[in-house]
């Protein structure tokens, strides 16, 4: 089975109108569809129908994650593999999600709901598909594409095993405790060093969803735009991760879901097992998370939706 990318993340929001305004006017996403209680959004540099789904709810948090696969046969294969683990699987019918074909949905060991799908409507790029102009005005923070998400896991080692053996992900970096047990993991299915990461925490939790910007200059520009729009960014300000080496800024949407704008990680081959895992120890983990500050308030990982 071949997962080719994190296709979309579906988020629960408490005020759908406020959330739509934030994701379009502040982050620069485009509405591709609306349905009762749902808004489907896409990023500027992705042809797929949607990358973020906003769902009206009484509380914030993760509804589900959609993984795009390379072949319709992968749906059957995935269903068989998950069922062998004793995990419940259920089908998502064609067009149950706007713009998307049928899928297979299941709950990973850490408690979050994932689905795999093959077909999604191709809308082309926003700049057009014939003789496009590369110099284009982008609204807001110019979020180019969905990059990754970080979920919480009571047992990251068990979760990593599921993502490796069932979903065919590879691990690029891990955090180990003094006994050598994995307590956090950064996993990839594409050519970026992580598409799904997992850190210690209760089952079902979401730490953040990350949107890709094309350069560090775009991150600075985005922060200026967010400050102009009175969006409070995380206290560390623009910083850098030791893990991945990327430039980053964190903030929250109106419902309280944490988001990240992110650029500059190293690349991976997109094939599991082709890179050797980098190991971090607990004493060096603050430098791994916030390279400039080299200190870490663990409440950063306790703030989940």
| 260 in active site | yes
- Spatial strand order in the sheet of 170-176: 239-240, 247-252, 258-263, 206-212, 145-153, 196-200, 182-188, 170-176, 278-281
The active-site residue out of 49, 50, 64, 194 is 194
- How far is Cα 106 from Cα 84, in angstroms, rounded to an integer? 12
Catalytic one of 8, 50, 207, 241: 241
Catalytic residue among 8, 50, 64, 148: 148
Q: What one-character DSSP code corresponds to residue 161? A: H
d(CA 61, CA 53): 12
CA 45 centroid distance within chain: 16
Q: 40, 188, 250, 291: which is the annotated catalytic residue?
A: 250
- What is the 8-class DSSP label of residue 245? -
Q: Pick the catalytic residue from 20, 252, 260, 291.
A: 260
**Which entry of 8, 64, 207, 208 is annotated as an active-site residue?**
208
Q: 25-63: string of b/e by CB count within 10 Å (b at 16+)? A: ebbbbbebbeeeebbbbbbbbbebbbbbbbbbeeebbbb
Please tell me what DSSP assigns to residue 283.
Answer: G
Q: Which two tokens stand for residue 262?
A: 């992110």
Give the H/E segment covering residue 186.
Answer: strand 182-188
Residue among 175, 160, 170, 120 nearest 285 (CA): 175
DSSP 8-state symbol, 233: B
- φ, ψ of residue 14 in degrees (nearest 5): -90, -20
To the query of whether residue 250 is one of the catalytic residues in this protein, the response is yes
Catalytic center residues? 148, 194, 208, 241, 250, 260
């Amino acid at each position: 089975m071949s997962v080719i990318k994190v296709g979309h993340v579906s988020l629960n929001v408490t005020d759908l109108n406020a959330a739509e305004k934030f994701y379009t006017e502040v982050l620069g996403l485009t509405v591709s569809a609306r349905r009762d209680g749902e808004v489907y959004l896409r990023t500027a540099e992705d042809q797929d129908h949607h990358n973020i789904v906003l769902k009206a709810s009484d509380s914030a948090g993760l509804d589900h994650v959609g993984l795009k696969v390379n072949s319709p046969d992968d749906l059957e294969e995935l269903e068989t593999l998950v069922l062998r683990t004793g995990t419940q699987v259920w089908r998502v019918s064609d067009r149950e999600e706007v713009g998307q074909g049928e899928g297979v949905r299941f709950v990973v060991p850490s408690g979050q709901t994932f689905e795999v799908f093959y077909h999604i409507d191709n809308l082309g790029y926003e700049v057009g598909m014939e003789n496009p102009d590369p110099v284009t005005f982008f609204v807001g923070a110019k979020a180019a594409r969905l990059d990754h998400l970080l979920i919480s896991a009571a047992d990251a080692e068990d979760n990593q095993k599921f993502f490796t053996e069932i979903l065919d992900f590879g691990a690029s970096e891990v955090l180990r405790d003094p006994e050598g047990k994995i307590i956090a993991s950064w996993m990839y299915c594409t050519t970026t060093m992580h598409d799904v990461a997992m850190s210690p925490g209760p089952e079902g939790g979401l730490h953040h969803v990350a949107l890709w910007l094309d350069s560090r200059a775009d991150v600075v520009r985005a922060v200026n735009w967010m400050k102009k729009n009175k969006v409070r960014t995380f206290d560390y300000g623009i910083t850098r991760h030791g893990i991945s080496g990327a430039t980053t800024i964190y903030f929250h949407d109106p419902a309280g879901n944490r988001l990240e704008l992110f650029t500059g990680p190293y690349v991976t081959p997109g094939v599991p097992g082709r890179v050797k895992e980098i190991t971090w120890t607990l004493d060096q983990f603050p430098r791994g998370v916030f390279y400039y500050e080299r200190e870490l308030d663990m409440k950063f990982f306790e703030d989940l939706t």
